[in-house]
Amino acid sequence: MFRKLLVALISFAVLLAACTPSATPVPQPPSTTGPLPSTTEVPSTPAPTVLTFTDGLGRTLTFTGPAQRVVSLAASNTEILFAVGAGAQLVGRDEASNYPEATTSIPTVGGWSGFSNEAIVALKPDLVLAGGINPPELVAALEQLGLTVYLLPNPATLEELYTNLETVGKLTGHIAEAAALVESLKGRVAAVDAKVGSIETRPTVFYEFDATDPTKPYTYGPGTFGDLLIQRAGGDNIGAHLNGQWVQVSLEQLVIANPDMILLGDAAYGETPEKVAGRPGWETLSAVKEGKVFPFNDDLVTRPGPRLVDGLEALTMLLHPELFK
Amino acid sequence: MSRLSPYLLSCAFLTAAILLSIAIGSVFIPPTDMGRILTGWFFAASLPESLQTFAFIIVSIRLPRTVLVLLTGAALGGSGAAYQGLFRNPLADPYLIGVASGAGLGVAAALSIQWPYTFWGLLAVPLAGFLAAMLTILLVYSLARLGKTIPTTNLILAGVAFSAFATSLTSLLMLRSTGELRRAFGFLLGGYTQAGWNPVLTILPFLAIGLGFLVLNGHTLNLLQFGDEQAQQLGLPVTRAKTIILVAASLATAAAVSFSGVIGFIGLIVPHVMRLWFGADYRRLLPLSIIGGAGALLLADVIARSVLSPQELPVGIVTALGGAPFFLWVLRKAKNQGYW
Amino acid sequence: MLKIEGLTVSYGARRVLGDVSLEVNSGEVTALIGPNGAGKSTLVRAVSGVIPLKRGIIRTNGIDLTALPPMPRARHLAVVPQAVSLPPAFTVWETVRMGRTPYLNFLGQTSAKDEEIVRLALQKVDVLDLAGRRVGELSGGEGQRVLLARALAQSTPILLLDEPTSNLDMHYQVNFMELVQGLAHNDKLAVLIALHDLNLAARYADRIALLVDGKIKASGTPLQVLTPELISEAYHLHVKVIPHPFADVPLVLPGND
């Protein structure tokens, strides 16, 4: 008898839990209109063109005008905003946003260890620009608070990057500047392609971005921009033949592969060519012996923003200095 | 101490913690404005424009967060007391038989899938954690069962063994994952990733049932302190009683963990403190641990939200850093009193 | 009174108690003696219902106790186990109050009558002045008496004791056994007590049952059971039995002639 009561109670609880969701507002997939209604009166002139977007989470969003107060939740988004000329519209950023200089004066709303919803709300943004790096729960939470969130998906190719730049241009009312930026970037990339097209050899490259364990450092595998840009810059990424995007390479494999050049993406964490030369077993690598170990700004190949092209150019200069004489 | 004062004291503590949790956040709301907002509500007056954002923050962000933390803390405190009573072990905590490691495995597995951005898609990860936790309990219970009895030693052994297994599987999943490592790690360190009222409404029925049953089983837990044999000789149907307590405590813990991640020390320390101050009678210890757990976790959450503001420190780190020295102090005092 | 018929207990393939039959009368102390491993403790625990029986019936006044669930069973018989590892944080009063469990609701709420019964039990066993003390602070003898009080609070006609005097020193042993004897003779309880000490059994028991290898080897008055032949064979030791110097009971002395 007691047991039956227990089973009944538990079943009831499960039913109750399954039913309660309908009592709360569900983040609606269909359109949310921005900007947030505030104290400005409704304009009497006919409404400007309505823009419709589909963001990285597959949601359709419509806007009646460019965003004026933007909060960026990813460093790459911050860079893009400044690059298309929307820096003045940025009112909040994440703590990792450190480029360009001007960002440091903008208040932060969170970072790798979570975001403060109330700080974001307090800034009264009409657009929150999230990135692939932000979890969907964050987007849902901000939406439930009535904010308009657009998730800019992580690009996998340079073309997708250009699309992102144009999207941000449309969102912030800098369409022309975005287009000009894309043209300029395309031009620079074409220039690199032209130079690289004339090379005879492709040096093999080991790009290290984490060497916490010096016998098993991490490198970029296929599907990452690190890999893509190295290839485009006329190099052969050792990680290209491995499985996974962020892969470990053992020291033994490295010795066998014996790359022509080693790039230290973890230079920001204190790795230097001297330290590398001092690692036991690394002194046998030709790159170390010939002094072809160079520090590299990892942001230039990881942040999915316009500086990827800077990264491409930097890589080309390192890999084929002869092209620039 | 009078019979009433433990409850008064604990409720006062909880109330203070609730107020603190509502008053503190990464956006500084001046006390005068807070006062104006509260009086505005009290007299149902409409608030001036300037205070509306603050009011919105309090109602839509801080209030649901406060309630969620309160509930998960209550679950941890209550089930911690129940587990300590059930296993007659001062080191028992709500994760003893594998709820945390099971939930962690479920969460890590769920995080490796890209869920659609829908209501159920967003609920998928906590739901996976909850289901995995309950499956763990079922598994451990079946492994430990010996004929008609469930010896507590078997439960602990089965739980520890399964935990080791689940933890290593989780580590493997995390190593092989690409971007989700950080989110899985965040779960294991304890923290609140979901906001709004949905989490509260989702876990409320489970907590109500789980904690409700526990509070009603205070006398049963007292009897179990004498060992299974003596408890049965005194008239308790031991296997049935232990099963109910186990299921109730695990239900509450699993529901809490799915939304709060693995937060340690609350379930371990709060019952000890309550026992030290107010005695070992479980009829009182359970409700007091529930109230105390809620208050303690609220305090820890306030600290977690303030220290790195606007970022948040994982709550589990705060409870561990604060809890460990506190625990040692409690243990010292307990040894002096010879109460365990 | 308590009637044990054909009790058989096995741990897996190993038979621990084989076809044990015993009668414990009200108003009498029946002592259960035998070498270690004979099954004394097992018998007491089996009768109390915490060990499953392979075969056998336990009756009291016609009621089959083996068919009863724990709660009603606990109204018929109460057990005094050895006072080892008692929860130290409960007070003496709280511990004795646990004895009222078979008569309380599942919340454990006691009435004034229950509290009075607890007080009487404490008084009878002479631990009333210890009522507010934590059990962890008590001596072995005091703890054992508290358990006796708890069993008394259970208000049962049958009392089972499992080697309660094994860890007590002389003073407390005698003290305790006098209490138990008084309960049987004055309050007419049916008392079955497993004892380690043969002379205590001789002194305080009305009937003795000798258990060897899970079987009742002999049963009767102390004089009948405590014979040199029976005891020497059971304990694998030559013993001498002489009349007790100042009590009308036998005295067993280990050692050879």
Distance CA C198, CA C165 (A): 12
Q: Please state the rounded mean pLDDT for residues A82-89.
A: 94
Query: Is 60 exceeded by the pLDDT of residue B237?
Result: yes
B120-124, B160-164, B318-322: segment of lowest average pLDDT: B120-124
- For residue A58, what pLDDT band results from cuts at 50, 70 and 90? confident
Q: How far is C171 from chain B (nearest CA, A)?
A: 26
Distance CA C153, CA A140 (A): 61
Decide: residue A50, CB within 10 A, 0-12 exposed, 13-18 middle, 19+ buried. Answer: exposed
Q: Please state the rounded mean pLDDT for residues A22-30.
A: 34
Distances (CA, A) of C81 to A73, C136, C141: 67, 17, 13
- Cβ neighbours, 10 Å, residue A8: 10
Q: Is C194 helix (H, G, I), strand (E, B) or coil?
A: strand
Q: In the prediction, which pLDDT does B339 show?
A: 56
Q: Can you list the domains of chain A with their CATH numbers?
A: 48-184 (3.40.50.1980), 200-324 (3.40.50.1980)
Q: Please state the rounded mean pLDDT for residues B253-270.
A: 93
Query: Is 50 exceeded by the pLDDT of residue B49?
Result: yes
Q: Residue A52: which H helix or E strand, with range?
A: strand A51-54
Q: Smallest Cβ distance to B310: which of A59, A109, A136? A: A109
A12-26, A143-157, A240-254, B173-187: segment of lowest average pLDDT: A12-26
Q: Please state the rounded mean pLDDT for residues A184-192.
A: 95
Surface of B (221-280) touching A: CB under 8 A? 240, 244, 247, 251
C97 and C210 share one domain: no
C69 and C93 share one domain: no
Give the count of Cβ contacts less than 8 A between chain A and B.
Answer: 127
- For residue B130, what pLDDT band results from cuts at 50, 70 and 90? very high
Q: In the prediction, which pLDDT does A35 show?
A: 39
Q: In the prediction, which pLDDT does B149 show?
A: 81
Chain B residues interacting with chain C (CB cutoff of 8 angstroms): 88, 147-148, 216-220, 222-223, 225-230, 232-238, 275, 279-281, 283, 338-340
Q: Does A212 touch chain B (CB under 8 A)?
A: no
Q: Could you read off the pLDDT of B15-44 as tens digits, one per residue?
A: 999 999 999 988 888 888 888 887 877 777
Hey, what are C115's tokens? 């509290």
Give the count of Cβ contacts less than 8 A between chain B and C.
Answer: 85
Sheet architecture: strand order including A261-264: A236-237, A204-208, A261-264, A293-295
**Percentage of residues in chain C having pLDDT higher than 70:** 99
Q: Smallest Cβ distance to A21: which of B26, B61, B119? A: B119
* Interface touch C88/B218, C-beta < 8 Å: no
C105 and C208 share one domain: no
Q: Please state the rounded mean pLDDT for residues C103-111.
A: 89
Q: How far is A162 from chain B (nearest CA, A)?
A: 23
Query: Is 80 exceeded by the pLDDT of residue C21?
Result: yes
Contacts of B60 in chain A (CB under 8 A): 121, 144-145
The total domain count for chain C is 2
C185 and C237 share one domain: yes
Q: Smallest Cβ distance to B339: which of C69, C85, C88? A: C88
Q: Which residue has the higher pLDDT, C250 or B340?
A: C250
* Interface touch B117/A140, C-beta < 8 Å: yes
Q: Please state the rounded mean pLDDT for residues B167-174.
A: 89
**Residue A104 identity:** T
Pairing mode, strands A60-63 and A33-34: parallel
Query: Is 80 exceeded by the pLDDT of residue A44?
Result: no
Query: Is 70 exceeded by the pLDDT of residue C165?
Result: yes
Q: Please state the rounded mean pLDDT for residues B154-177.
A: 89
- Where exactly are the structural domains of chain B? 5-337
Phi-psi region of B82 (alpha: psi -120 to 50; beta: other; left: phi over 0): alpha
Contacts of B232 in chain C (CB under 8 A): 48-50, 70
Find the angle CA(C45)-CA(C51)-CA(C56) to the nearest 5 degrees: 90
* Interface touch B223/C69, C-beta < 8 Å: no
**Percentage of residues in chain A having pLDDT higher than 90:** 66
C112 and C218 share one domain: no
Query: Is 80 exceeded by the pLDDT of residue A33?
Result: no
What is the ipTM, given to two decimal places?
0.91
Mutation to test the B interface, candidates A39, A93, A115, A137, most B Cβ within 10 Å: A137
Q: In the prediction, which pLDDT does B174 show?
A: 84
Distance CA B206, CA B258 (A): 12
- For residue B184, what pLDDT band results from cuts at 50, 70 and 90? confident
Query: Is 80 exceeded by the pLDDT of residue A16?
Result: no
Contacts of C75 in chain B (CB under 8 A): 235
Strand locations in chain C (E): 2-11, 14-24, 29-33, 55-60, 63-64, 77-80, 158-162, 190-194, 207-212, 215-220, 239-243, 250-254
**Whether the Cβ atoms of residue C163 and residue C186 lie closer than 8 Å to each other:** no
Largest CA distance in chain B: 68
Q: How far is B210 from chain A (nearest CA, A)?
A: 9
Q: Does A198 touch chain B (CB under 8 A)?
A: no
C11 and C117 share one domain: no
Residues in chain B: 340
Hey, what are B325's tokens? 């020295």
- For residue B178, what pLDDT band results from cuts at 50, 70 and 90? low
C99 and C149 share one domain: yes
Query: Is 80 exceeded by the pLDDT of residue A26?
Result: no
Q: Is A191 helix (H, G, I), strand (E, B) or coil?
A: helix
Distance CA C62, CA C59 (A): 6
**Domain end position, chosen among C123, C140, C155:** C155
Rg of chain A over Cα atoms, rounded to whole angstroms, equals: 24
Q: Could you read off the pLDDT of A103-153 as tens digits, one per residue?
A: 999 999 998 888 999 999 999 999 999 998 898 889 999 999 999 999 999
Ordered alpha helix ranges (H), chain B = 5-23, 31-42, 49-56, 63-87, 99-111, 119-144, 152-176, 181-189, 198-216, 218-224, 228-233, 238-260, 266-278, 282-307, 315-337
Q: Which residue of B has its CA nearest to A3?
A: B240
Crossing angle for the helix pair B198-216 and B238-260, nearest 10 degrees? Answer: 160
Q: Which residue has the higher pLDDT, B58 or B339?
A: B58
Q: Smallest Cβ distance to B340: which of C89, C102, C154? A: C89
Query: Is 80 exceeded by the pLDDT of residue A253?
Result: yes
Rg of chain B over Cα atoms, rounded to whole angstroms, equals: 21
Q: In the prediction, which pLDDT does B276 show?
A: 83
Q: Please state the rounded mean pLDDT for residues B46-60.
A: 84
Q: In the prediction, which pLDDT does C62 show?
A: 86
- Cβ neighbours, 10 Å, residue C224: 14
A34-38, A83-87, A265-269, C38-42: segment of lowest average pLDDT: A34-38
Q: Which residue has the higher pLDDT, B243 or C12?
A: B243
Distance CA A64, CA A34 (A): 7
Q: Smallest Cβ distance to A121: which of B56, B183, B197? A: B56
C103 and C197 share one domain: no
Query: Is 70 exceeded by the pLDDT of residue A12?
Result: no
- Domain CATH for C21: 3.40.50.300
**Domain end position, chosen among C120, C155, C190:** C155
Q: What mean pLDDT is reported for chain B?
A: 89
Mutation to test the B interface, candidates C44, C65, C75, C106, most B Cβ within 10 Å: C106
Hey, what are A56's tokens? 């990285």
Q: In the prediction, which pLDDT does A155 show?
A: 92
The structure tokens 């890589």 sit at A315
- For residue A31, what pLDDT band results from cuts at 50, 70 and 90? very low
* Interface touch B275/C108, C-beta < 8 Å: no
**Domain end position, chosen among C155, C180, C196:** C155
Q: Please state the rounded mean pLDDT for residues A241-264.
A: 91
Query: Is 90 exceeded by the pLDDT of residue B114?
Result: no
What domain range includes position C145?
A: 82-155
Q: Does B112 touch chain A (CB under 8 A)?
A: no
Hey, what are C179's tokens? 């209490």
Q: In the prediction, which pLDDT does B248 show?
A: 95
Fold observed for domain B5-337 = ABC transporter involved in vitamin B12 uptake, BtuC (1.10.3470)
* Interface touch A246/B311, C-beta < 8 Å: no
**Residue A137 identity:** E
Q: In the prediction, which pLDDT does A57 show?
A: 84
